[in-house]
Homo-oligomer: A and B are copies of this chain.
Amino acid sequence: MANKKNNITFSDIAKYTNFSKTTISRYFNHPETLTEQNRNIIAEALEKLNYKENKVAKILANGCTEFIGIIIPNLYVRYYSEILNQILSTYEAFGYKFLVFISNGSKEDERTYLQELLAYKIEGLIILSHTLPSIELANLHLPLVAVEREDVYISSVNSDNYQGTILACENLSSHDCEVFLHISAPTTRTTPAYKRVEAFDDYCEKHQLLHHTFMEEMGASHEEVKSHLTHILEQIELNYSGIRKGIFISGDTYANVFLNLLIRKYGYLPNDYFLIAFDDSPISREAIIPISSVSQQIDKIAFEAVELLISQIQAQKERPAFCEPVHKIISPVLIPRETTEKN
């Protein structure tokens, strides 16, 4: 009944039921073409012989792996772990399985991951790492969606960094801030986050507001970040003392550190400080004083990314032609909290 490897196959079921392998296959893929009686016979046999399906064989025969590859920089940054969380959760909706690689920033390694993913015949790729240029990725001729990274030659889903920044500025305006400050790590022009820099400047210049941007490399460790922000805080206290400061910090990990520095200095958040962060990761809500933040709606980004990818997978199956990159934008939402809405 079972072969040496103790693996029940269609052949075994076929022998047992006196049908052919074809009929067993149809039982799974086109059950409506069988009589109910025969369906029952097969169902019983499957049960009795304890049949387990083998998708590897299925893939080889019909070419559909239902695999999507993911290359993500790390899971240490909240944004990434949450977006992976949301992407993996789309299994319920779409049924695609995910092969996940963590990229450590080495191009060499990342190319290895790509080869491995291609070898497993992934149907599409979601890429969050920013190591390889999009032109190289486009040359894979594989359905592909980038999330929050350079996306000149490939499809992508991003949050509207420009609009989100405007929301933050408008909130700071509504609190009559007298100087607008932007704290950010350096970004390059092709990066989605660069839009935050642009938007901040645009807004301040349009409304003729006193403003300044602190843009510097913050370092990788918490201690480095803390020391950089300590220095920035000193400058702010020196140059803008006594006036209402609206501070927009790109990234709420930084914002949390900055807030903690203020609290350790004063024991409370001084009245002339108004803080808004970006991302709205849990730390914003859990900070000692809950931090106002621009939420990226990560669940939507993830869902749209998978949906867009699948639509491209299907498009390519029908006509394997070149697809124009599609760029989707998700609107962010301002979550006002205590660092701006004081009472």
Contact = CB atoms under 8 A, between A and B. Distances in A.
A58 to B, nearest CB: 8
Contacts of A268: 267
Interface string A250-291: 000100110010011001100000000000001101111100
A120 interface: yes
B89 A81 contact: no
A85 B91 contact: no
Nearest to A89: B102
B288 A264 contact: yes
Contact of A54 (B84, B97, B121, B256): B121
B75 A85 contact: yes
A82 interface: yes
Nearest to A84: B75
Given A85-B74, A285-B222, A98 B100 contact: yes
B76 A82 contact: yes
Contacts of A88: 75, 100-102
Given A100-B88, A222-B286, A60 B52 contact: no
Interface residues of A, number: 51
A53 interface: yes
Nearest to A261: B288
A71 to B, nearest CB: 11
A313 to B, nearest CB: 16
Given A75-B82, A222-B282, A288-B260, A56 B52 contact: no
A57 interface: yes
A98 B70 CA distance: 11
A26 interface: no
A120 B56 contact: yes
A121 B53 CA distance: 9
Given A75-B81, A85-B75, A260-B288, A52 B99 contact: no
Given A74-B85, A76-B82, A55 B120 contact: yes
Given A60-B57, A97-B120, A286 B257 contact: yes
A202 interface: no
A59 interface: yes
Nearest to A63: B5
A316 interface: no
Contacts of A287: 260
Contact of A53 (B75, B91, B119, B256): B119
A99 B102 contact: no
Contacts of A120: 55-56, 97
A76 B88 CA distance: 13
Contacts of A102: 85, 88-89, 91
A163 interface: no
Contacts of A84: 75
Interface in A35-74: 52-57, 59-60, 63, 65, 74
Given A81-B81, A91-B102, 11 more contacts: A53-B119, A54-B119, A54-B121, A57-B60, A75-B85, A76-B81, A76-B282, A85-B102, A97-B99, A264-B289, A283-B283
5 contacts: A75-B84, A76-B282, A89-B104, A267-B268, A283-B286
Top 4 A-B residue pairs of the complex, sorted by shortest distance between their CB atoms: A267-B267, A81-B81, A75-B85, A260-B288
